[in-house]
Structure 1
Amino acid sequence: MIFLLPAPDMVAQNWAQIKKDIETSKNSPLYVKDILKKPFSIDTVAIARLSEFESFKDSIAFHGELGKVYGPFGKEQYLIQVLAENPNQFNRVGQIFIDTAIIYYPRADSLANFIIRQIAIGNRSFEDMASTYSMGGEGATQGDLGWIAAGYTLPQLDKALLEKEKGDLFKMWTRRGVHIIRKSDHTQTFRGYALLLMIRWKS
C-alpha cells in the first residue's frame, strides 16, 4: 500500500484557507468551536517591555494586526488570532545600578552623587558612566532598559517616571542598592494588552 503525502504548497494553501475562514467569520471563537471543532482558549496578554518578548505569543500580542490569524506554531500547531487590544503607558528607562552588597552604603551614595554630577556638568555621558560603573546587566547596553510598561517597575519608580520630564536624572534607593535613573524619552502610549484566541489544531 502506498501513502501519498500532500505537497508542501498544498499544505500551505490549506492553512491559508483555514486562517482566512477564521478571519472572515463573524464570531471566530464560535466558528472554531462549532465548525472547526477544535479546542481553544482566550488569553489576555500583558505587554511588559518592548525591547524583548518572552515568547512568540507576546510578540504577536504587541505586533499582531487585529483580526489576523498567525501560525501554525509549535508541535501542537497553534493558531493565534488577535481579538482585541488596549493601550498602556510606557517609559523609556536608563539605569546605572550600584549594588550595596558589594559597595558599602556611604560609598555607594557618594559614587552615585559623583556619577550624577559628572553627567550633569557634561564631563561624561550617561552611556559611558553606565558602561563603566553599572553593576547590573544594563551595563552591556550602556544603561538602556528600553521601553517598560507602567505597572512593571517598582511603584515608586512608576510614580517618579510619570512626574519627570524627558532627560531627567534622579537617584532612587531600594534594598538592593542605589539606582540612578534617566527618563530617556517622553512617556508614550502603546498597545499594552491584547486578547488572543489560541486554537490548538492537534489535540
Structure 2
Amino acid sequence: MLKYICLFLLIINSLHGYSQPKTMAAIKTELEKSPNSPLYVKDILKKKFKLDTVVVTRTTRFNSLADSLAYKGVLRKVYGPFTIQGQKFLVQILARLPNTFYKISQIFIDTSVFRYRIADSIGNAILSKLKNHQDSFEHLAQTYSMGGESATRGDLGWVARGSVIPAIDQKLAKAKKGDVFMVWSANGLHIIKLTEVPKQDHG
C-alpha cells in the first residue's frame, strides 16, 4: 500500500508560552524551514507531537481528511490548524513511499447466495461471453455483480497494491491492460478486469 509518513503536531495555546509570542503563521513557516521538525517542536516550541503513518489505498474517494492530505499534500508543507476536541493540530508530511496502483473493474458473485457450483457456472458463462465478444464487461457487471460496483458498471477505480485480497494482488502483478481473470475468496467469486496500465504513484 502507498504509505505516507506524516508528522502530526499537537499545539495547544500556540500564541502563549514563548519568550516571544509566535503567531500560528510564524510557527508554520518555521516548521517548513526547519531541517528537523520533531526536534524543533520538542526543543523550541516545547509542545507535544506524534509521528504517524497514513496508509493510502485509493487515489480518489478518500476515507478521511488524513488520507486526502497525505495523498494531495505537498512534502514539508504544514497544514492546519485543525481543531479536535478543543485542541489545535498542525500536520506536516515528512516523507512518501510510492506504490503501484491498478485501475480495476469487478463482477462479484456472492457464494452466500449461490452455491459454489452455480457461482462457478455463472462465472464461466461470463468469461465465455467476454471471450467471444458477446457482451461488454460493464454491462455484465451491471447485470450480474452482487456488490456495490454493479452501480458503477464494475468500476472500482485505482487501488493500491496490497489493498485487495492476496490472490487478486498476485494476479494483478502479472496482468496486462485488458486482462480478465477469476479469483475465489471466502466471500465468493471475483471476476477482475485490469482496465488501465498500472502506474507508480507518488501522490
TM-score range, shorter chain: 0.7 to 0.9
Q: CA deviation at 1:191?
A: 2.8
Q: Which of 82, 103, 113 is the aligned partner of 1:102?
A: 113
Aligned to 1:6: none
Aligned to 1:32: 41
Aligned to 1:145: 156
Aligned to 1:196: none
Q: What letter matches 2:33 in structure 1?
A: T
- Alpha-carbon distance in 1 for matches of 2:38, 2:26: 17
Map 1:191-202 to 2 at 5 A: 191=202
SS of the residue 2:62 aligns to: coil
Q: CA deviation at 1:165?
A: 0.5
Aligned to 2:178: 167
Q: What letter matches 1:21 in structure 2?
A: E
Deviates more, 1:120-129 or 1:57-66: 120-129
Q: Which of 39, 42, 53 is the aligned partner of 2:51?
A: 42
Q: Is 1:183 the equivalent of 2:194?
A: yes
Q: Is 1:19 the equivalent of 2:28?
A: yes
Aligned to 2:122: 111
Q: How big is the alpha-carbon RMSD for the aligned residues of Structure 1 and Structure 2?
A: 1.7
Deviates more, 1:112-121 or 1:134-143: 112-121
Q: What letter matches 1:183 in structure 2?
A: L
- Could you list the runs of 4 or more consecutive aligned residues of structure 1 that deviate by over 6 angstroms after TM superposition? none
Higher RCO (C-alpha 8 Å, min separation 6)? 1
Question: Kindly, what percent of the aligned residue pairs are identical?
Answer: 48
Aligned to 2:3: none
Q: Deviations over 1:130-171 (max 9, x none)?
A: 111110111112111111111121222111101110010111
Q: For structure 1, which runs of at least 5 residues remain unmatched after alignment? A: 1-12, 193-203
- Normalised to the residue count of structure 2, the TM-score between the two structures is 0.82
- Normalised to the residue count of structure 1, the TM-score between the two structures is 0.82
Q: What letter matches 1:18 in structure 2?
A: I
- Alpha-carbon distance in 2 for matches of 1:25, 1:108: 58
Q: CA deviation at 1:39?
A: 0.8
Deviates more, 1:74-83 or 1:158-167: 74-83
